[in-house]
Amino acid sequence: MENLKNIQPREDFNWEEFEAGGAKVTVSRQEQEAAYDKTLNTIKEKEVVMGTVTAINKREVVINVGYKSEGVVPATEFRYNPDLKVGEEVEVYIENQEDKKGQLVLSHRKARAARSWERVNEALEKDEIVKGYVKCRTKGGMIVDVFGIEAFLPGSQIDVRPIRDYDAFVDKTMEFKIVKINQEYKNVVVSHKILIEAELEQQKKEIIGKLEKGQVLEGVVKNITTYGVFIDLGGVDGLIHITDLSWGRVAHPEEIVQLDQKINVVILDFDEDRKRIALGLKQLMPHPWDALDSELKVGDKVKGRVVVMADYGAFVEIATGVEGLIHVSEMSW
């Protein structure tokens, strides 16, 4: 009310004529439109400008660039950025100032592509972490949208662990580092594994610094080879040699463990400089000699399984991990 008291009536305004419906407007419609247009941003078609997100739904993102009408961008163009929020500023490409519906036609994808090559090179030079959208699988890896460019993510650069289900990464937004650019063929190679390795390197130092021989830890079977099993101890790997899996003979480690299985292991030895950790599994089990019948004596008859044949005789397993030799001279009269 205080503000209304300070308003002074215009002396040149004809109130009688206004009440009779005959007041004349001294400013033409064209002049009014021109004055309104001056308050808006001047935009040109085929240029990249900054806009503010005013609304988001499953199909569209509404963006205000300061023009007389807001523009609409398909939501699919923001798949790489699932955290997009109202009020956030984004780059858009002016495709058309007015379509048949009088709507401003914008494209975020084209705006990204217009500056994408410059950004990719800058990210490589500065060793930056970038966000990318995994579009699909391809031979040997995945195709990732980075700044609107289709980059290649080799299968070996997805994770530190072997990948058994590539499809699980499709339609995901992840962080990457650009590791290689072919300027001639405009090829870009990215890696997610390199980010994990940087984190694990610090974790390894902390974990190895706390290790002690004889310590029992829980780990996950990461990889199985013919000579042993690699165990993930939560950021650092250790190896159970095939001879330390069981007190008995093992033809292949798959007889004892399976991939992704959680097991307890004991630390037998470790090299802090070389980051090598020797683990044991059989050491957590009772020694087979302790499990033998305490009343077993020389002259008793027992049954056993032939496990090895040699020129000089045969090795027979009479209990898990307990073998005896039948010398060739003792096989037959």
At position 55, the amino acid (one-letter code) is: A
Per the domain annotation, does 9 fall within a domain?
no
191 with 141, same domain? yes
Find the mean pLDDT for residues 233-239: 84
Dump the DSSP string for 253-286: GGGT--TT-EEEEEEEEEETTTTEEEEESGGGS-
Residue 95 lies in a domain: yes
Residue 314's identity, in one-letter code, is A
Q: Is the domain of 192 the same as that of 230? A: no
The pLDDT value recorded for residue 279 is 94
Whether 243 and 293 map to the same domain: the answer is: no
| Segment among 34-38, 102-106, 125-129, 256-260 with least mean pLDDT | 34-38
- Look at residue 23 and tell me if it is in a domain: no
Which residues form the domain of 59? Answer: 48-111
Q: Are 285 and 300 in contact (CB under 8 A)?
A: no
276 and 295 in a common domain: no
Q: Looking at residue 200, what is its pLDDT?
A: 76
Asked if residue 265 and residue 236 are part of one domain, the reply reads yes
Is the model's pLDDT at 23 over the cut of 60? no
> For the domain that residue 63 is a member of, what is the CATH number?
2.40.50.140
Q: Give domain status of residue 280, yes or no.
A: yes
Q: Check whether residue 106 and residue 79 sit in a common domain.
A: yes
271 and 226 within one domain: yes
| 89 shares its domain with 139 | no
Give a yes or no: residue 17 inside a domain.
no
Within-domain flag for 12: no
- pTM assigned to the model: 0.46
Task: Encode pLDDT of 290-325 as tens digits.
Answer: 767 777 788 888 888 898 899 999 998 887 778 889
Query: Tens digits of per-residue pLDDT, 264-292?
Result: 999 998 876 666 889 999 888 887 777 67
Lowest mean pLDDT among 28-32, 101-105, 213-217, 317-321: 28-32
Confidence of residue 40 (pLDDT cuts 50, 70, 90): very low
Clarify whether residues 150 and 168 are in a common domain: yes
Q: What is the pLDDT of residue 34?
A: 53
Q: Is the pLDDT assigned to residue 329 strictly greater than 50? A: yes
Write the pLDDT tens digit of every residue in 127-167.
999 999 999 999 989 999 998 888 999 998 998 877 878 88
Please report whether residue 79 resides in a domain. Answer: yes
Question: Could you tell me which residues come within 8 angstroms of residue 74 by beta carbon, excluding any fewer than 6 positions away?
Answer: 59, 60, 61
Where among 168, 196, 224 does a domain terminate?
196
In a domain, 35, yes or no: no
DSSP state of 161: S
Distances (CA, A) of 202 to 158, 219, 234: 19, 18, 12
Residue spans of alpha helices (H) in the chain: 2-5, 15-19, 29-38, 108-126, 193-209
- Which of 165, 196, 227 finishes a domain? 196
Q: Can you give the pLDDT at residue 233?
A: 86
Domain count, the chain: 4
User: What pLDDT is stored for residue 307 in this prediction?
Assistant: 86
Token digits of residue 310: 């040699």
